[in-house]
Amino acid sequence: MAENSVPKCLPRDVLPVPESCIIVGCGGAALDFLAAVAGFPKPDDKIRSTSLKVQGGGNVGNALTCAARLGLRPRIISKVANDTQGRAVLEELEADGVDTSFFVVSKDGSSPFTYIIVDSQMKTRTCIHTAGYPPMVPEDISQSSLLSALDGARIVYFDGRFTETALVIAQEAVRKNIPILIDAERPREGLDDLLKLAHYVVCSAKFPQAWSGESSVPKALLSIILRLPNVKFVIATFGEDGCIMLERSVNEAPQTKEVDIESLLESLEMRKDDSLAMPTCVSSPELNLRAEGIGTVYGRLYIGTAEKIPPRELVDTTGAGDAFIGAVLYAICADVSPEKMLPFAAHVAAAKCRAVGARSGLPYRTDPHLASFLL
């Protein structure tokens, strides 16, 4: 279980626990059946797996497991059935220090699960998800239970699933002045209503342009910031190609020259050092960032590089994005600067990629490499 307080004297190689370390997540928690194969099968092929692992999955389940191992105290709101798979989901989360007391367990139905084919040759994973039944609805969580779940929370995280229930939780979080982080993996029904309440958004590579309709990622990020006035920062993740982050400044914009955001990104790309194995971050100063036909925002642009994993160490990318988000949740709770947050999150995601499944490789706060990213 995560510590309730920070020791007075922490070794330099132990990640400190933030004072405000309770977080709440709402979304998918499932069971993953991970079959590693020498190469992805062709249609009608019959092949043997080289290994099989059964492990907890689901975006929120994975991200909160990561956060728990980093020292936070997560509470999860999700739904499973009272079947073998559902019980396994709960037991694994509890063993990692995630509070499952706000889980909804239906007497009948089935728990969600995912078949994952891990291609050892191409280093890819293919997911076939089966949703649980019955789905989670707002009536599944009482007002008293919701208030208890949010009590003392530093941040609330949503993965875009159970959007009707998520919206009820998000609206209560807004009333309590609790910031909200949204994982925008892809456009979903009801996601726009959630995004309007978000303070932080972490996107998949394709989401910004798919959602905004803009022609480039930097223009899409600028559009997101301008269309969602509560958002403090938005991050687009690109796997081995790192990430791009746009942060809205809290300072008043000076009357200075506007800078084209696409040109600024090109200049930052030239500054990053691709020869370094460990993740790094380059950033702009605060500027009036603009794009023709979109508008202007006063803020900063960041490029975070990914950790270069030797091919012999790269095992499975399943859940790498969830690990990244778990580390971002920690960084927000610990008031870590973006310049430190992005390399830290990239390192946590890389650690996950060195083992099969979304959780096996997630590091613990005692990992001697973690604290060095935040010093």
Report the CATH number that the domain containing residue 148 is assigned in CATH: 3.40.1190.20
How high is the pLDDT of residue 97?
97
Residue 7 belongs to some domain of the structure:
no
How high is the pLDDT of residue 203?
97
Residue 119 belongs to some domain of the structure:
no
Strand-strand pairing, 155-158 and 124-130: unpaired
How high is the pLDDT of residue 237?
98
Under the banding of pLDDT at 50, 70 and 90, the label for residue 82 is very high
Q: Is the pLDDT of residue 319 over 90?
A: yes
How high is the pLDDT of residue 11?
56
Residue 16 belongs to some domain of the structure:
no
- Please count the structural domains in the chain: 1
- 92, 62 contact by CB (below 8 A): no
How high is the pLDDT of residue 347?
97
CA separation, residue 19 to residues 8, 37, 63, 175 (Å): 12, 44, 20, 22
pLDDT tens digits, residue range 195-229? 999 999 999 999 999 999 999 999 999 999 999 99
Write the DSSP symbol of residue 110. B
How high is the pLDDT of residue 1?
39
- 225, 248 contact by CB (below 8 A): yes
Residue 179: other Cβ atoms inside 10 A: 18
Q: Is the pLDDT of residue 81 over 60?
A: yes
| pLDDT, the chain, mean | 94
Residue 66 belongs to some domain of the structure:
yes
Residue 343 belongs to some domain of the structure:
yes
pLDDT tens digits, residue range 83-138? 999 999 999 999 999 999 999 999 999 999 999 999 988 888 999 999 999 999 99
Question: Mean pLDDT, to the nearest integer, of 33-62?
Answer: 94
Under the banding of pLDDT at 50, 70 and 90, the label for residue 256 is confident
Residue 121 belongs to some domain of the structure:
no
Residue 92 belongs to some domain of the structure:
yes
Residue 39 belongs to some domain of the structure:
no
Question: Mean pLDDT, to the nearest integer, of 36-47?
Answer: 93
- Residue 188: domain span: 22-28+59-108+134-373
For residue 268, the one-letter residue type is L
